[in-house]
Amino acid sequence: MTDLSPDLPSSAARAGLLLRQIAGVAVSLAFTFLGLLLVTFIIARVVPIDPVLSILGDRATDAQIAAERLRLGLDEPMWKQFGIYIWQAVQGDLGTSIRTKQPVIAEIAQYFPATLELATLGTIIGVALGVPAGVLAATKPGSWADQIVRLIGLMGYSMPVFWLGLMGLLLFYGVLDWVGGPGRLDAAFDMMFEFEVTQHTGMILVDTALAGRWDMFANAFSHIVLPAGLLGYLSMAYISRMTRSFMMNELGQEYITTARVKGMPERRVIWVHAMRNVLVPLITVVALSYAFLLEGAVLTETIFGWPGLGSYITDALLVGDMPAVLGGTVVVGVVYIGLNMLSDLLYRLVDPRART
């Protein structure tokens, strides 16, 4: 009979290691979230905007101001205000918008799917074009292909986003009429989408496809293709540059030389052996690029009239609606934390060494 007792300590050790890793990730996330709330809390207290006057207006009486400060808890010590703020945020309460008198979390839930749809499509475009371009440039350093890829990446870093967006609208919408204009749908389809399509996700391409409204899907695609292409170009510039750097580093390693000496096909050397190691840091690059598009699409959404989270935060900032601004900031921070956690998980799945 086989004795399994020697395996028990190793199994227990692996389980203990897993539990310690989970506990470490949980503690790290908790402290990161706490730091995010602390930053937004401080911002709310140092900006020269009185939340009470923003709610009541300049003609409010002293009694009304005192009653509102009491209702908002602004008469409490600062540490207690921060504790209340943490408790409300943990419960999903990000305050009430001064403009609309609606819960901020409910409004963000309406605007965020549009940003998620736009950033996701932009990231897909960036990865689909950026990774092959970076690999091509790395395998042919100094060639014309390498120079073109580096030039395209440099242009993506150098050209202002608002200029690219305006030129894209002028050329592809105004002159060539190849794409739809600003907004998510034409006016004729906008009302039909509200009443005829069940909004399961809030993302027009997904909801219209699920409803089988392919005419509306085509119209929505014509509107999203230009802003998503612009974000995809910015993402591609970053991803191609990093892919080129990672791949050139791997192609100089001894195991690549060994594989080539053994006669292994070049395609397999690059896309199997080298890419397996490039994939580890590349996951973090893609996650950061995705987070940037989710958070940094403010100018793109403004230019293209895209009703997303960036436009929501910008409009709230212009009218001094600080609960909406800070609520949107918290959501963006949570997205960053979530994507970093996801990239760390994928990193461990791809690279077995990270599990030990």
Q: Tell me the per-residue pLDDT of 322-354, one tens digit each, with 9 for 90 and over.
A: 888 888 888 888 888 888 888 777 777 766 665
Q: Domains in the chain, start-ordered, CATH in brackets?
A: 11-90 (no CATH), 111-355 (1.10.3720.10)
| pLDDT bucket at 239, cuts 50 / 70 / 90 | very high
The yes-or-no verdict on residue 11 having pLDDT over 80 is: no
**pLDDT value of residue 14:** 66
Q: Where are the alpha helices (DSSP H) in the chain?
A: 7-46, 51-56, 62-72, 78-90, 104-139, 144-158, 161-168, 187-196, 204-211, 214-251, 254-261, 266-268, 275-296, 298-303, 309-318, 322-350
pLDDT, tens digit, 9 for 90 and up, residues 32-61: 888 888 888 888 777 777 677 667 777 777
Q: CB atoms < 10 A from the CB of 71, how many?
A: 11
pLDDT in tens, 191-202: 888 788 888 888
Would you tell me how many other CB atoms lie within 10 Å of the CB of residue 317? 14
Residue 1's pLDDT is what?
44
User: How does residue 127 score in pLDDT terms, banded at 50, 70 and 90?
Assistant: very high
Name the band, by pLDDT with cuts 50, 70 and 90, for residue 227.
very high
What's the whole-number mean pLDDT along residues 164-171?
90
Whether the Cβ atoms of residue 260 and residue 147 lie closer than 8 Å to each other: no
- Please check whether residue 297 is in contact with residue 231, taking contact to mean a CB–CB distance below 8 angstroms: yes
* Least confident interval from 24-28, 139-143, 249-253, 321-325: 24-28
Per-residue pLDDT averaged across 245-253, rounded? 89
Which pLDDT value is given to residue 4? 45
What is the structure's pLDDT at 351?
65
pLDDT on residue 352: 63
pLDDT at 266 over 90: no
Which DSSP symbol is given to 60?
-
**How far apart are the C-alpha atoms of 169 and 27, rounded to whole Å?**
46
Which of the two residues, 271 and 5, has the higher pLDDT score?
A: 271
Say whether pLDDT at 187 is over 90: no
- 66: pLDDT confidence band, cut at 50, 70 and 90? confident
Residue 128: per-residue pLDDT:
94
Residue 260 has pLDDT above 60, yes or no: yes
Give me the pLDDT at residue 281, please: 86
pLDDT at position 6, please?
46
Q: Which two tokens stand for residue 233?
A: 């170009």
Task: For residues 204 and 54, give the distance between their C-alpha atoms in angstroms, rounded to a whole number.
Answer: 35
160: helix, strand or coil: coil
Task: Assess contact for 312 and 111: CB atoms under 8 A.
Answer: yes
Q: Specify the pTM.
A: 0.83
pLDDT at site 136: 92
Q: Which of 1-10, 71-80, 210-219 has the highest mean pLDDT?
A: 210-219
pLDDT reported for residue 355: 56
- Compute the distance between CA of residue 239 and CA of residue 289 in angstroms, rounded to an integer: 8
CB 173 within 8 Å of CB 180: yes
Alpha-carbon gap, residue 129 to 240, rounded angstroms: 8
pLDDT at residue 8 in the model: 45
**DSSP string spanning 201-244?**
SS-HHHHHHHHT-HHHHHHHHHHHHHHHHHHHHHHHHHHHHHHH
Q: Greatest CA separation found in the chain?
A: 89
Rounded Cα–Cα distance for residues 221 and 64 (Å): 50
pLDDT, mean over the chain: 83
DSSP state of 180: -
Q: How confident is the model at residue 356 (pLDDT cuts 50, 70, 90)?
A: low
The residue that leads in pLDDT, 225 or 18, is 225
